[in-house]
Amino acid sequence: MRQALLTAAVTVALLVPRLSSAQINFDGLDLSGDDSSKKKSTKKKPVGESAKKKSPKKSVDDTPAPTPAPDPAKSGTSTTTAPATDPGKPGTSSGMGFEGLDLNKPNGGGDPSSTGAAPAKPPEPPKKAGPAPVMSFDAVDVSGKSAERQRLDAAIKLFKEESYETASLAFSEVLNDPKMVGLHDEAQYNLAKTLYRLKLYHSSLNHFKALLSKGPSNKFFKSGLEWLFFIAHKTVNEQIVLDEVAKWANQEFPERFRAEFRYLLSRYHFARGKALDEVGQADEAKKSFEEARKLLVAVPKSDPFYAKAKYLEGTIFFKDGNFAPSLESFKEVVRANNPRVNSNADIRLRELAFMQLARTHYGHRQNRFAIFYYDKVQPGSDQWLEALFEESWAHFRIGNYERALGNLITLSAPFFKDEYFPEALILKAVVYFENCRYREARAILEEFEETYMPVHNELEKITSQTSDAQRYYDILAEIQKRNKEGGKGSTLLLERILKLALTDKDLKLVNDSILEVEREMDTIGEARDLFRYSDLSKGLGEGLKGERQQLINRAGLLAKAKLEYELGQLKELLGNALRIKFETSTREKEVLETLMREGTVKKEELSAYNVTTAVNDERVYWPYEGEYWRDELGTYEYTLTKGCKAKK
């Protein structure tokens, strides 16, 4: 009897073909058998992969590919070509070799343990096709897998089909089901990857952090570490992953990430050293700087992070007062980013190195060397106006007053009316004072007081408030909003201070992260209703709100410190202006009394200056009447004559 039943069962199995998707529709069915029209395959299929004929459109690879390869959030297509990338651009892949990696294999490639499931059984022998009966049934397990395993595999299948919103909801359901606790880690890992594909990088990072917190014994730990680097390439601020990288500094990172790991960890130690130095813990700060320097030495010259590492190394040497090593490190940054030999040169990093070379020489009173490097900064770049202003002081030191005043004329051009250079007026007054042009010097100082005293008073009012960090961040937003609505007077100058505050690297990066988190919150709010109103979306939103508040608190503290610093600088400049004004009046009085007593000149003759229009063969004299031409900016030289008469 048993033999008869077995024979009947086999007969039925031979007659029932694989049903098409139009004939049946249910969740959890594993359609992993071979198509009867294909020959028997001897190669095992990866877990969770459908045995249906693959679409020729694209193949899915879980690893993010560097530019110009497609963004993994847009396509799953892998690439085997790895163009060199610009290491200086934040938020981009840095040529770390992510291409061509099969991330569906356990511990292989940039997205290891993609499914984490056990290997599938060998395919059954092909069966003869028969008529396709119309039938329906619920959750029949045709592969020997548990229902829980099939639910997770179905979610993975959605991921491979690039239905990322639906896949994320499916992974979230598995993660929140207490009956599937054995699959929670795999579900969370795949959920984090799916959020990355949705460009929700901060939300993705939060899930990877939760997975890493379970420790190195977790099967997805090493893969999670690698994803920290992928996310660091996509966010505007690498700082958000530095703490997590430092937490697992004792773990062994994959070879292709080790140079980047050392650079990021050195950044962490450098930031820590700066913070310790600011609170007076010089010894501990020195230890952090030394630890950062040791890590930077291990970055090889062939690595894309080499130039960044040398720049940070030069900064550490400069803080330690090591003049020669600092110069050599910055020069190496310039050489490594020479556009004539490096098609992917980071021009911004190169110009930052020029600025540091100039400042280092200026600090050691090597003014002509400083001028040489300031002139290397290209007009129109981010550092150009700052270079012009600092170069003016170097020209002043060597007595080249004409070029110093010429640079200041450029800074006062209407193209740069929103820039904040209050010290430029002080330098201009000092130049006139040194050339006995007392009347002009006094007028410039009066202009400075009239312009910046209201700014000083308002800054003092702001910083005297005992508000929390949130309030200081709100103050900056209020200033910006008020100026956009047409504010006048000191409010416009406060807008310049705001702009100056955001040039502070730390504050700007934190502010950029706040804006990035807000954009991510908007992305969730603009998603389809199925995703937007889900429990997953609500949870992600709460997490982003908490992260935003933490960033705002940090930005508020940085803003408060920056505003207090600018207030201190402005207070010092106002004090200097008052002293120069007093000295100018005293000197003018002495000269006047001497000349009148000796009878060598009449009082009305003191205002007459001899002006020459002589220039060298490479220049043309052109009377300045208030007009500006963009192609002339940065090339002005002021015609200046001494106003004081030579004594007998």
Cα three-residue angle 496-450-568, rounded to 5 degrees: 55
How far is C-alpha 397 from the chain's CA centre? Answer: 37
- What is the pLDDT, as a whole number, of residue 255? 80
Bigger pLDDT: 612 or 87?
A: 612
Q: Is the pLDDT of residue 127 over 70?
A: no
| Amino acid at the residue 404 | A
- pLDDT for res 642: 62
Helices 323-336 and 306-320 pack at an angle, to 10 degrees, of: 160
At 644 the pLDDT is 59
Higher pLDDT, 139 or 323: 323
Contact at 8 Å (CB) between 197 and 165?
no
pLDDT by residue (tens digit) across 54-101? 444 443 344 443 333 334 444 433 333 333 333 333 333 333 333 333
**Mean pLDDT lowest among 117-126, 176-185, 262-271:** 117-126
Using the predicted structure, report yes or no on whether residue 555 has a pLDDT greater than 80. Answer: yes
Specify the pLDDT at position 113: 38
- Cβ proximity of 448 and 425 under 8 Å: yes
What's the confidence (pLDDT) of residue 299? 92
Specify the pLDDT at position 164.
Answer: 95
Region of 44 please: left (phi>0), alpha (psi -120 to 50) or beta: beta
Q: Are 402 and 638 in contact, with CB atoms under 8 Å apart?
A: yes
What is the structure's pLDDT at 505? 80
pLDDT at 51: 37
Residue with more model confidence, 349 or 618: 349
Q: Report angle CA 186, 192, 194 to the nearest 5 degrees.
A: 100
User: Could you tell me which of 416, 350, 414 has the C-alpha nearest to residue 389?
Assistant: 416
Which single residue is written with the structure tokens 């106002």?
Answer: 574
Question: pLDDT tens-digit profile of 420-455?
Answer: 888 999 999 999 888 888 888 999 999 999 888 888
Amino acid at 133: P
Query: Is it the case that residue 290 has pLDDT exceeding 80?
Result: yes
Amino acid at 195: L
Q: What is the mean pLDDT of the chain?
A: 75
Question: Residue 643's pLDDT is what?
Answer: 58
593 versus 624: the higher-pLDDT residue is 593
Residue 138, pLDDT score: 41
- Distance separating alpha carbons of residues 71 and 55, to the nearest angstrom: 20
Contact 554, 524 (CB under 8 A): no
Radius of gyration of the chain (CA): 34
- ∠ CA 386-392-395, rounded to 5°: 145
Count other Cβ atoms within 10 Å, centred on residue 310.
Answer: 24
Q: Please give the pLDDT value at position 523.
A: 94
Res. 119 pLDDT band, cuts 50 70 90: very low
Q: Among 107-111, 124-128, 444-448, which range has the highest average pLDDT?
A: 444-448
3-state secondary structure of 431: helix
Mean of pLDDT values over 572-590: 88
CB 139 within 8 A of CB 28: yes
- Alpha carbons 513 and 516: distance in angstroms, whole number: 5
Higher pLDDT, 622 or 423: 423
Name the pLDDT band for 121 (thresholds 50, 70, 90).
very low
The mean pLDDT of 458-472, rounded to a whole number, is 78
Quick one: pLDDT band at residue 486, thresholds 50, 70, 90?
A: low
Higher-pLDDT residue of 370, 609: 370
* 251: pLDDT strictly greater than 60: yes
| 1 has a pLDDT exceeding 80 | no
Of 172, 143, 160, 181, the C-alpha closest to 75 is 160
Section 176-197 average pLDDT: 94
Four-residue CA torsion sign, 76, 82, 85, 87: positive
Summarize pLDDT for 387-423 with one digit per residue, the tens: 999 999 999 999 888 889 989 888 888 788 777 888 9
Q: 502-529: per-residue pLDDT in tens?
A: 777 888 888 889 989 999 999 999 999 9
Q: How far apart are CA 602 and CA 209, in angstroms?
A: 81
Comparing 255 with 38, the larger pLDDT belongs to 255
pTM: 0.68
DSSP structural state of residue 262: H
Percentage of residues in the chain with pLDDT exceeding 90? 38
Q: Do residues 267 and 312 make contact, with C-beta atoms less than 8 angstroms apart?
A: yes
Question: If you ran DSSP here, which 8-state letter would residue 636 be given?
Answer: -
Best mean pLDDT range from 9-18, 331-340, 482-491, 503-512: 331-340
Residue 208 has pLDDT above 60, yes or no: yes
Mean of pLDDT values over 546-558: 89
Instruction: Please state the domain extents for the chain.
Output: 458-585
